[in-house]
Structure 1
Amino acid sequence: TSRRVIKFGLNKNAQFFANKIEYLGPEGIRFHVNGFYPFHMPIYGSASIYNALLAISVARLLEIEFEEIQEGLEQRFSLLDHTGNLTRRDNINILDYTYDASINSVTKACESLAQFKPFSEKLILVIGDIRNPGPDVAGTHLKMGYYIAAQPIDVVLTIGEDARLIGEGIRRLNHTQKIVECSGDAPTLLERLAAHLTPNSTVLFIGSKELHLEDTLQALLKMV
C-alpha cells in the first residue's frame, strides 16, 4: 500500500507550516498556520510550535475543521508536566523544564528563557548536570557553558558536580558579565536563588532527573 507523507514545520513548502511567529513571553506564542489561520497558545519555546503543528496535521487528516482545531488547542491544550510549564506568582515567572536535561533540551530551554527578555527585568537560569553527555563529560558541560555565555541571561546558578563546568565555560567567555554561582546542595541553591530573585524576574529550572530540581522549584513557589 502507498503511504501518504505529510510534512510540517517552519518551511513554507510543508503542507502545514507556521509563520508570523510572535513570542509574547508569559502570554505564550502567537503564530499563523499556512499564512492564514491564527493560533495563540500557552507555549513558551519554538520546539512546542512543532508539537502544535503535529496535532494540527493529525486533526486535519481526520477532517476536523481549522476553526474546531483552533478552539481545541487554544482552550484545552496543556504541556506535559515539567516540559516547559509556566507558573506565575505575582510578578515572578517560573519555567519548569525539570523533566530531564539532554544537550538538546537544555539549548531549547535556554532559547525559551531568552524569549522572556523583553518581558522581564532579570533572567535567572537554574541548571544541573546534563544527562547522557557522551564520552567527554567535561567537554560537553564546558561547551554548554560557552553556549549559555552568549544568551541574554543575567544569573546562572548551577547544582551538581558536572554542572560546575557549565559555570566554568561561562566564565571563560563571559563578555556580558553574568553572575555565575555553583551550589553543592539544594538548600544552598535555594538560598542563593532567593538572594537573586527580584520583582519581574523569570526563572527557569532544568537538570537531570537525579537532582530532583522540581523539589527546589516547589520550595521556591512556597516562598514567593
Structure 2
Amino acid sequence: MVITGKLSDLKKVTNGSLFSDKAATAEFTGLSIDTRTIADGNLFVAIKGELDDGHKYLRHAFDKGAGACVVQSGYEEHLPAEYRDRCLIVNDTQKGLRQIALWWKDKFNPRYIAVTGTNGKTTTKEMIADVLAQKYNVFRSPGNYNNLFGIPLSLALLNDSYEICVLEFGMSFPGEIEALTSMVKPQVALITNIGPAHLETMGTIENIARAKFELLDHIDADSIRVLNLDDALLKARFDKEPEPKLGYAVRADAQVRPTGFSSNSLGRIIFQYQGGEIHLKVPGLHTLYNALASCAVARIFEVEFEGVRTALQSYKGKSSRMEILELSGITVIDDSYNANPTSMGYALKALSQMQAKGRKIAILGDMRELGEDEIELHHDVGSIVAEINPDRLITAGRLGMHIAAGANVNGYDSSRTETFMTAEEVIEAMLPEIRDGDQILIKASRAMQFEKIVRAFKKKQEVRS
C-alpha cells in the first residue's frame, strides 16, 4: 500500500481550495512530481523549481493517467479545463508536498532512523536497512531520495507493515536538514563524517558541520545520537552531546569498535567484532566505517551478531560506488557516481591496498562545487596520488589537471601522467593502451560523466571475450 486518498482529505491538511465541489471526491493512489515516472492513478504535485515548472506538464500528467493534481495558486491557467474537477490549489506546492507526506506519515508508527554526513550516506543507509531486516520489517528511502522532495516521496510509500524506516538526509544549503528533521522526527540520528563538499554554497567546513549538526539540534531529547568518533568534528560534538548517545570508530575509543581488521587482495576488509569475523564485499577502509555504523544501530535495536554478519557479508554495494567489475583481463573499480576530496582519498587508498597482476591506473576527474579552494583541494588529491604511487595517472577536466599538478609537485613521475578535458578524450586515448592485468580506478563528480568511460571499457572487453 502507498499513499491513497481523496482531494477532500488534502484540502484540510494543506488549507487549500478546490476548483469545484466535485473535485472533493477525486481519488488518487501514489504520489509523483515527475511526469516521466508517473503511474496510473497518481497524485501529481506541480512543483515550480529554479530550472523548470511542473505546471507546464499538467496535461501530460493526466494523459499518462494521473488521478488528481495539486497546483500553486496563480498557475491555474496551466490546468486544462477538462481536468479542473480533479485539482487542488495551494499557496505553495513545495510546502504542500511536505504537508501531504506528513498527513500520510502520521497514519503509521514505525521507528525512524536518519543518516547524514558528507560521505557514505547511501551505503550506510543500505547496510543499516539490511542488518535490521534480519529482525524487522524495514522501509528504506529509494536510491538517493534524500532532500526536501525525495523524503516526502519516500514517506508516501509507507504502510502499516513497516516497523522501522531508514532515511538518508542530504544537504545542499543551510536549513535543509533542519526541515527534514522536523518533518521526520527520527528516534536515531546518525552522522557518518564531515568533509569538504558543497563548499561553493557552504563556504567552509565549519558551515558544513553546522548544517549537518541541524540533525542533532532538532531531534527530541530522548532520540539516540550515533556518531563516528574518528572524525574530529564529530568527536568534539559527541563529547558535548547528552545521553543517549553511541559512538563508533576504528581507532578512537568507542562503544562500537572492531578488535582487529585486515584487507584481502581486492582491498576488501575483514574485521573482528563481538568475538566473530565479518568479511565485507565492497573494498576500502571507508566501507568498514559504514559497516560499523550499522553495527551501532544493530546494537540499539538488539540484532544479534549472526544477523549482522549475514547482512554485511551479503552486501554487494550500489552501482558505480566502489563497484568492482571483473572484465575480460582487467579489473575496473567503478566509483564514478560522484566525488569530493574525502571520497577521492578513500578510493585512492583502497586502490593502494589492492593487489594487481598488471598496472594500477587512476583515472580521476573534476570534483565540483568546492568553491574558492577548488584548486588547492585538487592539489591535495594529487599529493595522495603521489603517496600511493599508481603506475599511471590520467586526469580529465579543467580542475582534474590540478590533481596531476599536485601529484607531480609531490614527486610523482610526470612521464606517467596524462591530462585531458573530457571523458571522451580519455576513452579515445586509453582504450588502445589497456593491457591484461590492469586495475583501473575511475572516479569524478557526476558532471564529468565518467560512467561513459566505464561503459567503454565494458564494451571493449565484451568484444575481446
TM-score (norm 1): 0.89
Say if 1:23 and 1:30, in contact at 8 Å, map to a contact too: yes
Aligned to 2:273: 33
1:30-109 equivalences under 5 Å are 30-34=270-274, 36-75=275-314, 77-109=315-347
Could you tell me which runs of 5 or more consecutive residues in structure 1 were left unpaired when the two chains were aligned.
Answer: none
Aligned to 1:134: 371
Letter in 2 for 1:113: L
Partner Cα separation in structure 2 for residue 37 and residue 109 of structure 1: 27
Aligned to 2:171: none
Letter in 1 for 2:263: Y
Q: What is the CA distance between 1:178 and its match in structure 2?
A: 6.1
Partner Cα separation in structure 2 for residue 129 and residue 12 of structure 1: 32
Letter in 2 for 1:143: D
Aligned to 1:193: 430
- What is the identity percentage for the equivalent residue pairs of Structure 1 and Structure 2? 22
Cα–Cα, structure 1 residues 177 and 23, in superposed 2: closer, same or farther, change >3 Å? farther
Cα–Cα, structure 1 residues 29 and 4, in superposed 2: closer, same or farther, change >3 Å? same
Query: Quick one: higher RCO (CA 8 Å, sep 6+), 1 or 2?
Result: 1
Aligned counterpart in structure 2 of residue 13 of structure 1, from 237, 253, 275: 253
Say if 2:283 and 2:322, in contact at 8 Å, map to a contact too: yes
Partner Cα separation in structure 1 for residue 356 and residue 264 of structure 2: 8
Partner Cα separation in structure 2 for residue 168 and residue 134 of structure 1: 19
Q: What is the CA distance between 1:177 and its match in structure 2?
A: 6.3
Deviates more, 1:122-131 or 1:146-155: 146-155
Paired residue secondary structure (1:105): helix
Say if 1:167 and 1:180, in contact at 8 Å, map to a contact too: yes
Say if 2:362 and 2:441, in contact at 8 Å, map to a contact too: yes
1:158-169 equivalences under 5 Å are 158-169=395-406
Deviations 1:25-65 (A, max 9, x none): 3372211114x220011021111101111112212322221
Aligned to 2:97: none
Q: What is the CA distance between 1:12 and its match in structure 2?
A: 6.5
Partner Cα separation in structure 2 for residue 175 and residue 157 of structure 1: 12
Could you tell me which runs of 5 or more consecutive residues in structure 2 were left unpaired when the two chains were aligned.
Answer: 1-220, 223-242
Q: What is the CA distance between 1:4 and its match in structure 2?
A: 2.0
Q: What is the CA distance between 1:182 and its match in structure 2?
A: 0.8
Say if 1:101 and 1:208, in contact at 8 Å, map to a contact too: yes
Partner Cα separation in structure 1 for residue 420 and residue 343 of structure 2: 22
Cα–Cα, structure 1 residues 170 and 138, in superposed 2: closer, same or farther, change >3 Å? same
Paired residue secondary structure (2:388): coil
Cα–Cα, structure 1 residues 140 and 27, in superposed 2: closer, same or farther, change >3 Å? closer
Letter in 2 for 1:138: I
Q: What is the CA distance between 1:129 and its match in structure 2?
A: 0.7
TM-score (norm 2): 0.45
Paired residue secondary structure (2:442): strand
Aligned to 2:218: none
Paired residue secondary structure (1:41): strand
